[in-house]
């Protein structure tokens, strides 16, 4: 039975991967609409032939990796269960009393380390791909350092969550999901509060913007938008990437406006001011709070569905999956599989909401600065720096794009200015 399940899962994954390969590499590309060819939104206008070629090639590989990586992770969870590895990890816990934080930490470490090793070739290929296409500038030692930090940060947070989760399941196998959701609300807000000052500095150095004249202009914009901030932060990303970015992070007194140094080095002052105005738009529109509310609602639905699905799966397939009961720590891979699947299938909806918010932030930035040329040229530079597709295939847009496509963003700006004229 185990062999049959394993072979079936591998075959299904193989068929899915082949299907996605043909969709990504051999289906008709979305292309550029005829009425937009030759306009500022057409990549042939602002990208060289080599950039166009690399962009198309790099985007296809990235998109294919995205669509196979998550189902591959589901396959790993399934194989860990049906081969009995999850039960073995629980048996290897050295202490007799099961369910304590130390015992859970041992189990989570074994599971996390196995996943790290199995997924490492895929992660390394992504890193190498980014290096080969000139996006990443990070050396292997620095990349591995970030991976190790990732491992331990995720491990620490997972141990806390898993310990509380299984304590709640042991207390009530029916209402655990509701209690878990209630506890996740303050936990999520706490993480967002400490992210800029505790977690982010583990990976990069943050310091006040060195260009004080530019900082003054950005803070003047912030004052116009009634944003209470005393500093704009710069982060040293040039040693890791050629891509460009800026963002607003944190909540309350720990909120920050952050600029990558690559953005400062490559964009003009007016382009940077447009990007900053865009980020301020998120603050003014209160997107961060809508995001928190949306995340809390998503957790509610996700935990409720997981609480319904886990007992059903265990009752029907428990023998094959080698899960004796839901409150045993060896059921964790099933929990991770279900929640990962739910997040994946819900991503088109969350991305749709995010794209709407990004469009609103673009509109705010245009109204604040009234500099469409800077907006268009900033988007063009972002496209070239990241070798991004301006008009990806539909499934790619649904599942991958939390921002509108560059074709949409540039066209929206030119249309809005045209209407005002």
DSSP code per residue over 169-227? HHH-TTTHHHHHHHHHHHHHHHHHHHIIIIIGGGTS-EEE-S-HHHHHHHHHHHHHTT-
pLDDT higher at 161 or 1: 161
Residue-averaged pLDDT of the chain: 89
Catalytic residues: 279, 362
Residue 266 pLDDT exceeds 60? yes
Judged against a pLDDT cut of 60, whether residue 96 lies above it is answered with no
CB proximity list for 364: less than 8 A, separation 6 or greater:
277, 278, 280, 281, 284, 285
Q: What is the pLDDT of residue 11?
A: 92
Name residues whose C-beta falls within 8 Å of residue 297's C-beta, 6 or more positions apart in sequence. none
- Rounded to an integer, what distance in angstroms lies between the CA atom of residue 257 and that of residue 62? 29
In this structure, the chain runs to a length of 421
Confidence of residue 124 (pLDDT cuts 50, 70, 90): very high
Q: Is 326 in contact with 173 (CB distance < 8 Å)?
A: yes
Q: What integer pLDDT is reported at residue 415 of this predicted model? A: 77
Q: Which residues are annotated as a binding site for Zn(2+)?
A: 278, 282, 358
- CB under 8 Å to 248, separation ≥6 — which residues? 255, 256, 257, 258, 279, 280, 282, 283, 288
In this prediction, residue 7 carries a pLDDT of 84
Residues placed in the known binding site: 278, 282, 358
Higher-confidence residue of 412 and 351: namely: 351
So what's the pLDDT on residue 417? Answer: 60
Q: Is 69 helix (H, G, I), strand (E, B) or coil?
A: helix
Q: Is 393 left (phi over 0), alpha (psi -120 to 50) or beta?
A: beta
Closest CA to 70 of 306, 300, 345: 345
More confident residue, 228 or 314: 314
| Interval 376-391 mean pLDDT | 90
pLDDT confidence of residue 122 = 95
Please check the confidence at residue 98 and state whether its pLDDT lies above 60. no
For the ranges 23-27, 179-183, 223-227, 416-420, the lowest mean pLDDT is seen at 416-420
So where are the chain's domains?
2-203+287-420
Q: Are residues 313 and 334 in contact, defined by beta-carbon separation less than 8 angstroms? A: yes
Average pLDDT over every residue of 338-361: 95
Model confidence, pTM: 0.90
Q: Specify the higher pLDDT residue, 28 or 58.
A: 58
pLDDT digits (tens, 9 = 90+) for 135-177: 999 999 999 999 999 999 999 999 999 999 999 999 888 899 9
Structure tokens at 187: 């936990």
Q: How is residue 174 written in tokens?
A: 């029916």
pLDDT at 339 over 70: yes
Residues 79 and 100: beta-carbon distance below 8 Å: no
With cut-offs at 50, 70 and 90, classify the pLDDT of residue 224. confident
Helix H or strand E segment including 281? helix 269-284
Helices (H) and strands (E) in the chain, counts: 15, 4
Provide the terminal-to-terminal Cα distance of the chain, rounded to the nearest Å.
70
Confidence (pLDDT) at 286: 85
Q: Is the pLDDT of residue 346 over 80?
A: yes
């Amino acid at each position: 039975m185990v062999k049959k399940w394993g072979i079936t899962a591998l075959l299904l994954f193989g068929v899915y991967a082949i299907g996605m390969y043909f969709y990504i590499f051999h289906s008709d590309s979305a292309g550029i609409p005829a009425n937009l060819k030759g306009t500022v939104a057409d990549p042939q206008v602002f990208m060289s032939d080599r950039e166009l070629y690399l962009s198309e090639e790099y985007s296809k590989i990235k998109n294919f990796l995205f669509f196979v990586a998550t189902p591959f992770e589901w396959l790993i969870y399934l194989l860990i269960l049906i081969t009995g590895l999850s039960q073995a990890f629980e048996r290897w816990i050295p202490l007799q009393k099961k369910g304590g934080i130390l015992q859970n930490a041992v189990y989570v470490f074994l599971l996390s380390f196995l996943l790290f090793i199995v997924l490492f070739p895929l992660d390394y290929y992504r890193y190498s791909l980014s290096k080969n296409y000139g996006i990443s500038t990070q050396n292997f030692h620095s990349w591995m350092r970030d991976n190790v930090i990732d491992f331990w940060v995720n491990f620490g947070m997972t141990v806390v969550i898993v310990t509380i989760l299984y304590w709640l399941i042991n207390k009530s196998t029916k209402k655990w999901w509701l209690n878990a959701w209630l506890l996740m609300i303050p936990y999520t807000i706490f993480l967002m509060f400490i992210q800029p000052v505790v977690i982010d500095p583990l990976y990069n150095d943050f310091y006040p913007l060195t260009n004080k004249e530019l900082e003054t202009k950005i803070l003047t914009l912030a004052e116009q938008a009634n944003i209470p901030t005393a500093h704009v932060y710069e982060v040293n990303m040039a040693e890791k990437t050629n891509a460009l970015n800026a963002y607003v992070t944190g909540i309350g007194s720990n909120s920050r406006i952050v600029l990558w140094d690559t953005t400062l080095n490559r964009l003009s002052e007016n382009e940077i001011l447009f990007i900053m105005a865009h980020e301020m738009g998120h603050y003014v529109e209160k997107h961060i709070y809508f995001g928190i509310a949306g995340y809390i609602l998503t957790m509610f639905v996700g935990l409720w569905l997981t609480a319904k699905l886990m007992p059903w799966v265990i009752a029907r397939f428990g023998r094959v999956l080698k899960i004796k009961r839901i409150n045993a720590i060896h059921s964790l891979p099933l929990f991770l599989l279900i929640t990962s699947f739910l997040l994946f299938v819900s991503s088109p909806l969350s991305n749709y909401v995010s794209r709407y918010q990004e469009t609103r932030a673009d509109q705010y930035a245009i109204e604040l600065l009234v500099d469409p040329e800077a907006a268009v040229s900033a988007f063009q530079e972002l496209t070239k720096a990241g070798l991004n597709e301006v008009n990806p295939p539909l499934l790619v847009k649904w599942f991958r794009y939390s921002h509108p496509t560059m074709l949409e963003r540039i066209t929206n700006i030119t249309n809005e200015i045209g209407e005002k004229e």
